[in-house]
């Protein structure tokens, strides 16, 4: 079968859910998991400050590059991110390699239109041009892992970019989880983790499951570097800790731990000005993303919360 750039899931993106049944790669007291920074330097500043305040461990689970086609910005975002634990997303994987056949590597499902897929391939092309001047950085991306197991006081967290089987999988998207939770439940049980923390699919979701191991959770932060809900101007990160955050938008308890969605409140005006400078009206990124960056996607917080706890409940307890 011919590969359509941006639609396919390259074979080297795949892994078995059984890979998560291993000793933890990382132990932490508290964790911030930051997916989909998309090259927003102001969101990066914000998450660094959030983690610093709590002495929390930061994990960047991929796609920390996207809009940062300016060489200086490309360099500074990556130099900062790579001082922390990081996974490669499809963006880092594609700019590390030479093969253009996968396009942006997003493995977009059919509900994403052809024009949008084509524009993503064009954005990736621009970013690839910038990255070509940084062979050492590309070599660092190439050796980043595709998944990581973190442990927080006995809570096992599988951290991925896509889903339990692929770097660019859409199995943990809000759309797929709404259609049928059976597959996700089986993956959680088979992987031997209590939480899967993911990103990649653009929209956030937090969904609870009961498995043979007990209560389990899939938490997708959507994007740290772009708004995730209608009429909002902040990104989202996933926080896992022993005590709730007063900042959390929604969250749930899992044993002694809380898993929350926390806002990444970056300088919106500065970010949109920076975005417009490198992606003016008519450019592929402007056509695909400017509306979302200006005022959020067509998605409500209530749609993302699929747990027993209503939005804000945990932060009110704190």
Can you give the binding site for Fe ion, defined by CB under 5 A?
63, 89-90, 200
Smaller CB separation from Fe ion, 127 or 314: 127
CA angle 205–184–243, rounded 5-degree value: 50
Q: What is the bridge-based pairing of β-strands 205-211 and 214-220? A: antiparallel
Q: How far is the CB of 301 from Fe ion (least distance, A)?
A: 22
**Position with the least CB separation from Fe ion:** 200
Smaller CB separation from Fe ion, 162 or 296: 162
Tokens of 273: 């000005």
Q: For 285, how many CA atoms within 13 A lie in the half-sphere containing its CB?
A: 23
Smaller CB separation from Fe ion, 41 or 162: 162
Q: How far is the CB of 215 from Fe ion (least distance, A)?
A: 27
Q: How far is the CB of 20 from Fe ion (least distance, A)?
A: 19
* Whole-number Cα distances in Å, 308 to 178, 207, 314: 16, 9, 11
b/e code 225-253 from CB counts within 10 Å (16+ = b): bbbbbeebbbbbbbbbbeebbeebbbbbb
Residues 6 or more apart from 213 whose CB is under 8 A from it?
188, 189, 192, 194
Smaller CB separation from Fe ion, 61 or 245: 61
Measured distance CA(179)–CA(164) in Å, rounded:
17
Q: How far is the CB of 164 from Fe ion (least distance, A)?
A: 15
Smaller CB separation from Fe ion, 63 or 194: 63
Three-class SS state of 296: coil
Q: How far is the CB of 40 from Fe ion (least distance, A)?
A: 15
């Amino acid at each position: 079968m011919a590969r359509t750039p941006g639609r396919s899931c390259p074979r080297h993106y795949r892994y078995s859910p059984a890979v998560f049944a291993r000793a933890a790669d990382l132990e932490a007291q508290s964790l911030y998991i930051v997916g989909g920074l998309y090259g927003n330097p102001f969101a990066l500043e914000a998450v660094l400050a959030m983690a610093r305040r709590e002495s929390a461990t930061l994990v960047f689970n991929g796609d920390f590059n996207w809009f940062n086609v300016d060489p200086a910005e490309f360099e500074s975002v990556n130099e900062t991110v790579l001082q922390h634990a990081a996974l490669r997303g499809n963006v880092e994987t594609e700019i590390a390699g030479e093969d253009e056949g996968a396009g942006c590597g997003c493995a977009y499902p059919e509900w994403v239109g052809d024009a949008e897929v084509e524009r993503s391939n064009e954005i990736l092309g621009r970013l690839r041009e910038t990255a070509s001047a940084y062979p050492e950085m590309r070599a660092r991306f190439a050796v980043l892992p595709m998944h990581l197991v973190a442990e927080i006081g006995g809570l096992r967290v599988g951290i991925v970019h896509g889903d339990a089987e692929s770097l660019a999988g859409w199995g943990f998207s809000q759309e797929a989880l709404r259609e049928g939770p059976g597959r996700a439940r089986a993956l959680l049980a088979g992987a031997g983790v209590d939480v899967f923390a993911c990103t990649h699919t653009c929209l956030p979701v937090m969904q609870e499951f009961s498995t043979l191991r007990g209560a389990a959770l899939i938490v997708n932060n959507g994007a740290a570097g772009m708004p995730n809900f209608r009429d909002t101007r902040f990104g989202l990160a996933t926080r896992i800790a022993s005590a709730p955050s007063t900042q959390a938008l929604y969250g749930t308890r899992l044993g002694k731990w809380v898993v929350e969605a926390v806002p990444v409140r970056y300088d919106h005006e500065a970010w949109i000005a920076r975005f417009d400078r490198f992606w003016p009206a008519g450019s592929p990124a402007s056509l695909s993303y400017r509306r979302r960056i200006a005022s959020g996607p067509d998605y409500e917080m209530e749609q993302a919360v699929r747990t027993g706890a209503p939005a804000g409940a945990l932060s009110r307890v704190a």
